[in-house]
């Protein structure tokens, strides 16, 4: 079942006060490759994850995936049990991931670390799993031949 959860992040504005860049909102396919079920996953612009909400409605098991859309400098935190019924450990990216339009990433979550690599853009209409964030209007991510709507930048 496809679920779309809204996530509010502070958008990066142009330094010169100009128009925000156009194109697809960045996508990140996140995969759990740790040996643990993840009980919490948070995306946050602040250094601390304390005020951010968990985007998981159920634990993220080994090889489970979710798709995140967003822009800006985003920190990621995942939490898991240290051992069955044990204390919760939290792991946060050392540096925020700079996500700009027209980019795509793959993030792999390991037992105690992350790996972020350049990936292939994943269209929201071709993904059946959990989607977090807003991919933007279809006119931004669908090829022109596949949409009956137009965006300003395509049809000024």
Task: Domain ranges for the chain, please list them.
Answer: 25-146
More confident residue, 43 or 140: 43
Cα separation values, 47 from 5, 55, 77, 95, Å: 22, 17, 10, 9
Q: Is the pLDDT higher at 88 or at 3? A: 88
Instruction: Identify the pLDDT of residue 98.
Output: 97
Beta 65-69 vs 104-109: how paired, if at all? unpaired
CATH architecture of 25-146: Sandwich (2.60)
Kindly tell me if the per-residue pLDDT of 156 is higher than 50.
no
Whole-prediction pTM: 0.82
Q: Which of 17-21, 33-37, 48-52 has the lowest mean pLDDT?
A: 17-21
Instruction: Look at 103 and 7; give whichever has higher pLDDT.
Output: 103
Greater confidence, 38 or 21? 38
């Amino acid at each position: 079942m496809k679920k779309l959860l809204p996530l509010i992040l502070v958008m990066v504005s142009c330094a010169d006060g100009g128009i925000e860049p156009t194109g697809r909102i960045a996508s990140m396919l996140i995969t759990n490759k740790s040996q643990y079920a993840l009980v919490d996953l948070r995306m946050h612009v602040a250094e601390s994850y304390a005020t951010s909400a968990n985007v998981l409605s159920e634990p993220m098991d080994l090889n489970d995936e979710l798709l995140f859309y967003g822009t800006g400098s985003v920190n990621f935190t995942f939490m898991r049990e240290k051992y069955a019924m044990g204390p919760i450990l939290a792991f946060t990216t050392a540096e925020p991931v700079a996500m700009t339009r027209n980019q795509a990433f793959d993030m792999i979550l390991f037992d105690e670390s992350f790996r972020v690599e350049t990936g292939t853009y994943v269209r929201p209409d071709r993904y059946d799993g959990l989607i977090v964030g807003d991919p933007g209007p279809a006119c931004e991510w669908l090829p022109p031949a596949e949409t009956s709507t137009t965006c300003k930048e395509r049809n000024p």
